[in-house]
């Protein structure tokens, strides 16, 4: 039997606050994911009275639906960053990506958060020879900016890391790690509560309106007056709450499956390196062993528009069997979906519009970056005149065709199917050349 809910939620506690929210606060954070809770923690530690509101149950969103891969980085190459922002910002983007990983790992270790942290590394696998060459060149450039633990893995070495013949080598990020994301979220929630933060789920924000002394946050049945507001809703941003942000962040779904128990020996044989795995192909797969070491989790973009987990399941099973043919008939215990928040710049952003702060746009790289930028956004709220992050200089952008609802995503899905075809054609050509 397949459950169409997040595997990470299984047997985990669910926090509920049955009290009525206060009518006054210093700061209100909208969104109780990694970003919102981290920001609330920093604000509370600075002496602010903080209220966090979420429209769903606490931990409902992408913070507990993701693959649990703790890594650095973003989706913009150094060359593209230099072209759009200049060499200084391009260098700082790389350095701060590394800093985000260090920050979140330290947050876990320093506070002894029970979230199944594993220092497993992450291997980015090359779908084509061209991908391998591009990764090698990019890695060399990044090492010049700031050395970090990453090395190329040649095709003949891949058997040490994974039991498949699909890839033309890869790039190993040795300092990357993995977590159980629901446990990480719950641990961060407990830190915020201990610092005095009040967190309320099932409290949909109806509007955020300026007043003479700050803002009025309307929820069902009452208003909350505060001095500062942080929007930390990412892929769950609602246009009725912030039209400005909804026009600049696209909700893009991701879909994940987890196998039934395979046994530790089987998983070890399929993933002998024990790493998190991420592909370079356009509609990429990402996969890893679950913390118990007895199952495999795989995620992919089964579609770029919203479809049900039931509809996505056949596509995900086919991707799993493509990578590991021996798992073709393996039962799937869980299949679920969640929304990531994509910015048009492909970079996250900290900003302030009409006095309302925001931190979002992680483009699927939020497990380490979201706690980090939540912290940085809080510092910005505490000291507005200072710059605390390079991501203050990567503002969210607009596109004329995006008005808050991603009506065009079915067309984008078709485009990515074409890109898959192109990638596969390049791959098959390379394979034929190798056979000669």
Q: How confident is the model at residue 434 (pLDDT cuts 50, 70, 90)?
A: low
pLDDT given for residue 29 in this prediction: 98
pLDDT given for residue 435 in this prediction: 59
pLDDT given for residue 436 in this prediction: 54
Strand partners, 65: none
Q: In 3D, which of 336, 255, 259, 328 has the Cα closest to residue 294?
A: 259
CB 36 within 8 A of CB 65: no
- pLDDT (tens digit per residue) in 58-71: 999 999 999 999 99
140 CB-contact burial (10 Å; exposed 0-12 / middle 13-18 / buried 19+): exposed
CB 250 within 8 A of CB 362: no
Residues whose CB falls within 8 Å of the CB of residue 288, separated by 6 or more in sequence, listed in order? 67, 68, 69, 120, 178, 271, 275, 276, 277, 296, 297
Lowest mean pLDDT among 1-5, 143-147, 386-390: 143-147
Q: How confident is the model at residue 126 (pLDDT cuts 50, 70, 90)?
A: very high
pLDDT given for residue 246 in this prediction: 95
pLDDT > 90 fraction of the chain, expressed in percent and rounded: 84
Q: Residue-wise over 83-118: b if at least 16 C-beta within 10 A, else e? A: eebeeebbbbbbebbbbbbebbbebbeeeebebbbb
- The pLDDT of 308-313, averaged and rounded, is 96
β-pairing, 222-226 vs 215-219, is antiparallel
Q: How confident is the model at residue 283 (pLDDT cuts 50, 70, 90)?
A: confident
CB 280 within 8 A of CB 126: yes
Q: What's the whole-model pTM score?
A: 0.95
CB 27 within 8 A of CB 48: yes
Distances (CA, A) of 331 to 11, 257, 261, 314, 316: 20, 10, 9, 12, 12
End-to-end CA distance of the chain: 46
User: Distance from CA of residue 37 to its chain's centroid?
Assistant: 15
47 CB-contact burial (10 Å; exposed 0-12 / middle 13-18 / buried 19+): exposed
**What mean pLDDT, rounded, does the chain reach?**
93
171 CB-contact burial (10 Å; exposed 0-12 / middle 13-18 / buried 19+): buried
Residues whose CB falls within 8 Å of the CB of residue 36, separated by 6 or more in sequence, listed in order? 29, 30, 52, 54, 230, 232, 374
- The pLDDT of 136-153, averaged and rounded, is 92
- Classify domain 7-393 by CATH number: 3.50.50.60
Longest dimension (CA), the chain: 75
CB 305 within 8 A of CB 410: yes
Q: Enter the tokens of residue 260.
A: 């039934």
CB 136 within 8 A of CB 171: yes
pLDDT given for residue 405 in this prediction: 78
Give the number of other Cβ atoms within 10 Å of residue 248's Cβ: 26
9 CB-contact burial (10 Å; exposed 0-12 / middle 13-18 / buried 19+): middle
Q: Flag whether pLDDT at 369 surpasses 80.
A: yes
Dihedral pair phi/psi, residue 346, rounded to 5°: 65, 20
Strand partners, 276: 122
Q: Enter the tokens of residue 430.
A: 């390379």
- The pLDDT of 103-125, averaged and rounded, is 98
């Amino acid at each position: 039997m397949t459950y169409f809910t997040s595997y990470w939620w299984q047997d985990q506690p669910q926090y509920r606050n049955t009290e009525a929210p206060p009518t006054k606060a210093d700061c209100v954070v909208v969104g109780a994911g990694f970003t919102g809770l981290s920001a609330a923690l920093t604000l509370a530690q600075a002496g602010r009275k903080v209220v966090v509101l979420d429209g769903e149950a606490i931990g409902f969103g992408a913070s507990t639906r993701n693959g649990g891969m703790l890594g650095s980085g973003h989706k913009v190459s150094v060359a593209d960053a230099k072209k759009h922002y200049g060499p200084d910002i391009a260098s700082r983007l790389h350095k701060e990506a590394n800093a985000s990983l260090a920050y979140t790992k330290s947050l876990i270790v320093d506070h002894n958060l029970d979230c199944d942290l594993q220092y497993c590394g992450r291997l980015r696998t090359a779908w084509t020879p061209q991908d391998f060459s591009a990764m090698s060149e990019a890695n060399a450039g990044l090492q010049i900016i700031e050395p970090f633990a990453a090395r190329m893995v040649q095709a003949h070495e891949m058997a040490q890391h994974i039991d498949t013949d699909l890839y033309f080598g890869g790039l190993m990020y040795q300092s990357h790690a993995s977590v159980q994301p629901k446990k990480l979220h719950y641990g961060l929630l407990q830190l915020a509560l201990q610092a005095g933060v009040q967190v309320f789920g099932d409290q949909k924000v109806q509007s955020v309106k300026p007043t003479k002394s700050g803002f009025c946050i309307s929820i069902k049945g009452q208003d909350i007056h505060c001095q500062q507001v942080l929007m930390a809703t990412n892929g769950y941003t609602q246009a009725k709450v912030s039209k400005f942000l909804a026009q600049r962040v696209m909700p893009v779904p991701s879909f994940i499956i987890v196998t039934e128990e395979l046994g530790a020996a089987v998983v070890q044989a399929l993933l002998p390196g024990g790493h998190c795995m991420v592909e370079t192909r356009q509609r990429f797969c990402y996969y890893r062993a679950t913390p118990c070491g007895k199952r495999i989790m795989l995620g992919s973009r089964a579609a770029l528009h919203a479809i049900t987990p039931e509809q996505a399941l056949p596509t995900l099973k086919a991707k799993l069997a493509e990578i590991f043919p021996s798992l073709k008939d393996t039962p799937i215990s869980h299949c679920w979906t969640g929304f990531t928040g994509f910015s048009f710049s492909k970079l996250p952003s900290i900003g302030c519009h009409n006095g309302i702060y925001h931190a979002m746009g992680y483009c699927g790289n939020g497990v380490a970056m979201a706690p980090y930028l939540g912290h940085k956004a809080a510092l910005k709220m505490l000291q507005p005149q200072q710059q605390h992050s390079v991501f203050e200089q990567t503002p969210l952008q607009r596109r004329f065709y995006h008005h808050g609802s991603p009506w065009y995503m079915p067309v984008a899905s078709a485009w990515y199917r074409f890109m898959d075809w192109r990638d596969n054609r390049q791959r098959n050509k390379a394979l034929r050349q190798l056979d000669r």
